[in-house]
Amino acid sequence: MAQSIHPTAMVHPQAVLGCDVEIGPYCVLEAETTVGDGCRLASHVVIKRGTTLGAQNLVDEGAILGGRPQHVARHDRWGTLVIGAGNMIREHVTIHCAMAPDRCTRVGDDNLIMVNAHVAHDCQVGHHTILTNNVMLAGHVTVGDYAYLSGGVGVHQFCRIGCHAMVGGQAHINQDVPPYVTVDGQSTRVVGLNVIGLRRRGFAPEAIQQLKEAYRIIYRHGLAWNDVLRALQTTFSSGPAADFAAFLAQGQRGFVSERRRPALTVIPLPRVAEHGGAACRKPALRRAG
């Protein structure tokens, strides 16, 4: 099918456009950019030099893809940005190129990147991820397949988010998040497996049970670090649970710790005490057990 380019769009002659591409009003496509078959760019989208989009990407208003890295060092040349196929990139998303000329920021296939999210230089984002509104990925962050980052999550540079992990809103991640776990947004601590997400993605009950066993080895058995890795490698040689050992063995920044529940407290029914003839209710707080 023919391309559809709005008269107000500025497309450099050296930009490469696939078949059935739509370029909306006031878009800017610089030289040395590639837009794959079936892509749809809404108005005011900017595609910077060195950016490649695969097929069937939808990019909404005001997104800027391939901007130069945000860094105090002022480089005359920087790397590239490669975005896979089937992504939905919403309004005002920014994704930057890599720092070095021979490096690449990469986003995989079938991701949803919501309004105002930022993916910094040298990040590696997998497939089928969801980065919700105002997520901020600093430089060199890795996000595994099917990871879900809720609104306002900030991730420190060089951190890794494991596959199928779920990170709660406004968490501030400064260590690696293991695969398959849930991180509470308020405390930025692990609160268990992402069981609901795993079930939705069709994980068998047996696989989820193995993941629970691996989780207990990591967070509940009180083992030394080398013993944790040895136990995981020995017990889970295959299947999803084997991902834990591979992920943990590559850690450089440490890992988000588990949030332990405080001792249970109860508030009993108010006691009625007589003071000067008037009833006074005094709820008492005591620790259970």
pLDDT for res 272? 52
Report strand pairing: 124-125 vs 142-143.
Answer: parallel
Query: End-to-end distance of the chain based on CA atoms, in angstroms?
Result: 72
Catalytic residue, chosen from 121, 128, 140, 164, is: 121
pLDDT of the residue at 260: 78
Say how far residue 74 (Cα) sits from the centre of its chain.
28
d(CA 143, CA 32): 27
Domain annotation for the chain: domains and CATH numbers = 4-140 (2.160.10.10), 205-249 (no CATH)
% residues pLDDT > 70 (the chain): 90
Does the annotation mark 109 as catalytic?
A: no
Average pLDDT over residues 178-194: 97
Secondary structure element (H or E) that encloses residue 8, with its range: none
Catalytic-role residue among 122, 164, 168, 243 = 122
Asked about 108 being catalytic, the answer comes back as: no
- In this predicted model, what pLDDT tens digit does every residue of 233-288 receive, in sequence order? 999 999 999 999 999 999 999 999 999 765 444 455 555 555 555 444 444 444 44
Q: Out of 66, 108, 139, 144, which one is annotated catalytic?
A: 139
Please say if 122 is a catalytic residue.
yes
Phi-psi sector, 93: left (phi>0), alpha (psi -120 to 50), beta:
beta
